[in-house]
Structure 1
Amino acid sequence: MKFLHTADWHLGQTFHGQERHAEHRLFLDWLLETLVEREADALLVAGDVFDVVNPSLQAQALLYDFIVSAHERLPMLDIVLIAGNHDSGNRIELPAPLMRRLRTHALGRVRWLDDGTLDAERLLVPLTDASGETCAWCLALPFLRPPR
């Protein structure tokens, strides 16, 4: 299996008041071409997808356009996104049911079972090769926030 691991995209970040959407678009275009060239089986994104917990619509569109394009170009690519300390875990997970149809697993929060134990099974994501066979598992553990 071929994995590509990234983190800290910080989509929606501004630099001295200047939007960086064009730079982020170029990065995502490069990333997609790299995934295709290397025939990757999985893309792992280890947090800080967005720069702030309430990203702009344009920043969110960058992410979702990338996921759709990746699925169109590499239909068997598994994508795993976890929330980092800059992300809202709820925002990362909100479109999860739709993203699963694009082989994208978005995990933003840990959950606890009724008996008080961690729902670790929910955090285990199967990763498949080009034939669809599960060849690896990813423990998609998002940033752990202190309890309030």
Structure 2
Amino acid sequence: LHGQNRDHEHARFLDWLLRQLEEQRADVLLIAGDIFDTINPPLKAQERLYDFIVSAHRRLPRLEIVMIAGNHDSGARIELPAPLMKRLNAHAIGRIGWIDESLDSDRLLLPLHDADGQVAAWCLALPFLRPAEVTGGGLGDDYLAGIRQVHE
């Protein structure tokens, strides 16, 4: 499907998803990676995503959105609008971070609230782990060992 304009399909899907969130009175929407199909997505696809998040917040002000980067996403691109998204009850986690040699898990652990505003669950928003994030420096050069260290 390379070279094919998919904007109409994206728009229809996001309209459908918004209706489902309203009908189900969802508290949380978890977007588990591969938000885009390329590290450098078309501007229109990015606009569609952020317009959807704004619309979802307008219609469902209590809805929380958690979005993590997948292997097709640029973690930096996903996190770029994070400060603005927080104002829309949306969290964008694209990369992990380390403090000394310990995972900065506080940044990844998100409370999820129910309709009454009470913490109903916790989400570990763990994006796709890229080799550069889990190897090098004091972490060693073994990618699988780095992934194990994050999971531990």
TM-score category of the 2 structures, normalised to the smaller one: 0.7 to 0.9
Matched residue type, 1:64? Y
In structure 1, the gaps of 5 or more residues are 1-14
**Is residue 2:14 matched to residue 1:38?**
no
Structure number with larger C-alpha Rg:
2
**Is residue 2:39 matched to residue 1:60?**
no
Shift of 1:58: 0.4
Shift of 1:48: 0.3
**Number of residues of Structure 1 aligned to a counterpart in Structure 2:** 133
1:46-76 alpha-carbon deviations (Å, 9 max, x no partner): 0000111111110100000000000011000
Residue 137 of structure 1, aligned match among 107, 122, 130: 122
**Is residue 2:102 matched to residue 1:124?**
no
Higher relative contact order (CA 8 A, sep 6+): 1
Give the equivalent residue in structure 1 for 2:131.
Answer: 146
Higher helix share: 2
**Is residue 2:48 matched to residue 1:23?**
no
Shift of 1:99: 0.2
Shift of 1:16: 4.3
Q: Secondary structure at the match of 1:17?
A: coil
1:106-136 alpha-carbon deviations (Å, 9 max, x no partner): 00000000x2100011101111111211111
User: Using a 3 Å threshold, how does the CA distance of structure 1 residues 78 and 85 change in structure 2: closer, same or farther?
Assistant: same
Shift of 1:96: 0.1
Matched residue type, 1:35? L
Give me the identity figure in percent: 67
Distance (whole Å) between structure 2 residues aligned to residue 36 and residue 44 of structure 1:
15
Distance (whole Å) between structure 2 residues aligned to residue 97 and residue 134 of structure 1:
22
Q: TM-score, normalised by structure 1?
A: 0.87
Q: Secondary structure at the match of 1:19?
A: coil
Q: TM-score, normalised by structure 2?
A: 0.85
Give the equivalent residue in structure 2 for 1:7.
Answer: none
The 4+ residue runs of structure 1 with deviation greater than 6 A are none
1:12-65 alpha-carbon deviations (Å, 9 max, x no partner): xxx142110100110000000000000000000000001111111101000000
Q: RMSD of the TM alignment (CA)?
A: 0.9
